[in-house]
Structure 1
Amino acid sequence: MHVIMFDRQSIFIHGAISSLRGLIPELNICGTSQADELWTFLSQSPTATLLLDGNMNHEYCLWLLDELAERYPEARVAVALAQGKPDWVETLVQREVSAIVPRNAPAEMFASVLQMVESGMVCFPKKWLGSPSPVRHDLSCLSERQREVLRLLAEGGSNKEIGRALNISAGTVKAHLETLFRRLEVKNRTQAALIYTRAA
C-alpha cells in the first residue's frame, strides 16, 4: 500500500506517518506540504492513495482534486477534515473522494480507512453526510438486479468483480450502472455508493 500525505502542517504529517507505519507494516508512506513535491511523488506512484488536508483553502483544494483527477485518474483520495460541514462534505463527495476521516480520529481509524480505500471501498462519517432527500435516495425506483449491482458497488466491487458475482458481463454491469445513476440522479460511483449506505 502506497500513501502520499499532503497537509499544511508538517507536524501532523510526521506524527501520522510514524503512527501509521506502526499499524500497517506493509505501508509505504511519504508526506509533503509543498505542491511541487506532491506532483513529483504522484508521478512516481500514480496509483497511490492521497491523504489530503481538507481544511486548506477550499478553492485550492478543489483545484487540486480536479488536477489530480485529470493527471492521475487511478489515484484514490481520502480527506482529513477537522469539521464536517455538510455543504463542504457534499462538494468533496461530488469530486469523487473515496473517504473522509475526522482529523482528530485515532491512528487506528486512519489505518482502517486507508485500508478500505485501498481495497476500493468508500468510507464517510454518517453524521457528516447531511440529511438525505427521500426522493433522491429511494432505492425502490431500482430493479432487484440494479439493487444487487449497487450493493456490490458499495462494497468496493469493480465492474468485472460485480459481473463475476452476478454471472453477467462487465458490459451489462455498465448498462445497469448507467441506468441506476440516472434513476438516483447521481454522477458517479461514489455518490451511488453513498446513497446505498444511507438507505441501508
Structure 2
Amino acid sequence: MDQDILIIHQHRLMLDMLEMGLKKQLPQLNIATQLSIDTAQTTQETKLVLIDIEQLNKVSFRNLGPLVNRHPGARIVVLGSHARPEVLLARGVHTVIDLNHSLDDTVKRVESILAGRGSGLMVCKEFEQSSSSIFDCLSERERLVLRELCCGQKSVNIATKLDISPQTVHSYVSRICTKLNVETRQESVFLGMRHFEALQAM
C-alpha cells in the first residue's frame, strides 16, 4: 500500500510521540509505520521515509541501498544522533534530524521537507562538528590527495603531480574512505566538496 510518510522504528518513546504529533497535525496524510526495513523487491510509492538511526547502525548503513530501492523517489530522513552526520548525507540521506529538538520543531521540519524545503542537517549546537575536524583524522598527504580529487583530478594526474605511482594514489584513497567512514571514492569527494573551504585551509 502506498503512503505519504513511512516511519521505521521500534517504539522509542520520542519517535512514538513524533508519530502521534504528525498524525495529529497532518491528518490528511497517510502515515504508516514499520518495525524494521522491508527488504521486499517490490517498490512502494512513498514521499517521505523517517527512519530511526538505530535501524541503520545495525548494518553500518548498508541497508540504505535496499531502503532507497524499495521507496524510489522518497526523501530519506534519519532520526537520531551520529558523530558524522555528513557521512549519511553522502550516502543519499536527505536530512539528518537529531532528537534533542522539541517535538514541534521536528514536526515543522518534517512538514517543510514534505513541501520540498529543508535538507541537510538539523542538529543541536552541542552535537555539531566543525568542518575542519571531519578531516583531522587524515594525514597531510591524504588531505592533499582528497583536495586534488575534489578538483576533478584523476589518479594518474595526482600520481604525476606528487611523483608517486597510481597504485599509491589508490592506497591513499582507500585509507581516506576508511578514515572518513565512507565506502566509495565518490562519497569521500562529496564530503570533501561539501567542506572544501575547511579542507583547503588545513
The two structures share one fold, judged by TM-score above 0.5: yes
- TM-score, with structure 1 as normaliser: 0.55
Considering fraction of residues, name the structure with more helix. 1
| Alpha-carbon distance in structure 1 between the residues aligned to 2:94 and 2:129 | 17
Summarize the alignment of residues 75-154 of structure 1 with structure 2, pairs less than 5 Å apart: 75-81=74-80, 83-86=81-84, 89-118=85-114, 119-124=116-121, 125=123, 127=125, 128-133=127-132
Conservation of the 8 A alpha-carbon contact between 1:50 and 1:76: yes
Q: What is the SS of the residue equivalent to 2:59?
A: helix
Q: Structure 2 counterpart of 1:117, which letter? A: I
> Partner of 1:21 in structure 2?
23
Q: Do the aligned partners of residues 103 and 182 (structure 1) sit closer, same or farther apart at CA in structure 2, a change above 3 Å counting? A: same
| Alpha-carbon distance in structure 2 between the residues aligned to 1:98 and 1:23 | 22
What is the aligned residue count? 145
Please report the RMSD computed on the Cα atoms of aligned residues, expressed in angstroms. 3.8
Gaps of 5+ in 1: 137-180
Deviations 1:140-197 (A, max 9, x none): xxxxxxxxxxxxxxxxxxxxxxxxxxxxxxxxxxxxxxxxx95499958x8699659x
| Alpha-carbon distance in structure 2 between the residues aligned to 1:61 and 1:52 | 14
Summarize the alignment of residues 1-200 of structure 1 with structure 2, pairs less than 5 Å apart: 2-9=4-11, 12-36=14-38, 43-45=43-45, 47-56=46-55, 58-60=57-59, 62-81=61-80, 83-86=81-84, 89-118=85-114, 119-124=116-121, 125=123, 127=125, 128-133=127-132, 182-183=150-151, 187=186, 195=195
Q: Do the aligned partners of residues 14 and 29 (structure 1) sit closer, same or farther apart at CA in structure 2, a change above 3 Å counting? A: same
Q: Structure 1 counterpart of 2:49, which letter? A: L
State, as a whole percentage, how many aligned pairs show the same letter.
Answer: 17
Which structure: larger Rg?
Answer: 2
Deviations 1:104-157 (A, max 9, x none): 4322122222123220531412634422139x9xxxxxxxxxxxxxxxxxxxxx
